[in-house]
Homo-oligomer: A and B are copies of this chain.
Amino acid sequence: MQPENQSSGQERRSFIEEARRGQIVAATIETIAEIGYAKASFVQIARRAGISPGLISYHFAKREALMKQVMLTVHASMDQALSARGEGAESYRAALRAIIEGFVHYCAEHPAELIAISQIAAASRDAEAARAWADDQHESTLAELEDMFREGQEHGELRTFSPRVMAVSVLAAMEAAPAELTARPDTDVAAYARELADLFDLAVRRG
């Protein structure tokens, strides 16, 4: 049986095991970014990690579990990066700007991670658990944005518009950034971030 199979739950993973899992997750991100989810077989991932394919199954009970771990890991890293920036915005418009610019900068700094999670989220094989989790995450992000917009409207800072449509559109526009930045590596990231923030600032501000 694999260490993964912790039915009862809290059994601690050894340090070395955590390290291996991290290494495998990193190799998975690298592999997906390089050759795409479709071709990211255990053989390919293991080759990049310098281990045997069987070892992946040893540490992750199912392919799905690995993919979900990639999701969790990247989202955790993103949350950490964004929460640092998001703190202490003085207005709803400033908060929106901070979110948008923070996300764009994160994308620029972690292209492989973004490519990996977007491919996993869109994947058609052995990624249902990861996709379901990402969907939940997505929905709760939308809900947070909606709430923010609604409050801003109630405070009179933002114009009247559908918070849902705005939330969906902001998130879509942000999530389009990594592909654009990857496709055009020469893009001025700061300028991109500023333009995107300006765009939505004009769209939400009152008057």
Instruction: List residues of A whose CB falls within 8 A of some B CB.
Output: 1, 36-39, 41, 43-44, 47, 118-119, 122-125, 161-162, 164-166, 168-169, 171-173, 175-177, 180, 191-192, 195-196, 198-200, 202-203
| Chain copies in the assembled complex | 4
What are the 6 closest A-B residue pairs judged by CB atoms, nearest first? A122-B122, A38-B124, A172-B176, A169-B173, A165-B195, A1-B43
- With A38-B125, A168-B180 already in contact, 13 other A-B pairs whose C-beta atoms are closer than 8 Å: A1-B43, A1-B44, A38-B123, A39-B124, A122-B122, A122-B123, A124-B124, A161-B198, A162-B195, A165-B192, A168-B176, A172-B173, A202-B202
CB distance from A159 to the nearest CB of B (A): 8
Q: Is the interface of A mostly helix, strand, loop or mixed?
A: helix
Chain B residues near A176 (CB-CB < 8 A): 168-169, 171-172
Contact of A162 among B38, B123, B191 (CB under 8 A): B191
Chain B residues near A1 (CB-CB < 8 A): 41, 43-44, 47
**Cβ of A196 and Cβ of B165 under 8 Å apart?**
yes
Complex Cα spacing A43 to B166, Å:
41
- Contact A169/B198 with A38-B123, A44-B1, A122-B123 known, Cβ cut-off 8 Å: no
Complex Cα spacing A169 to B103, Å:
14
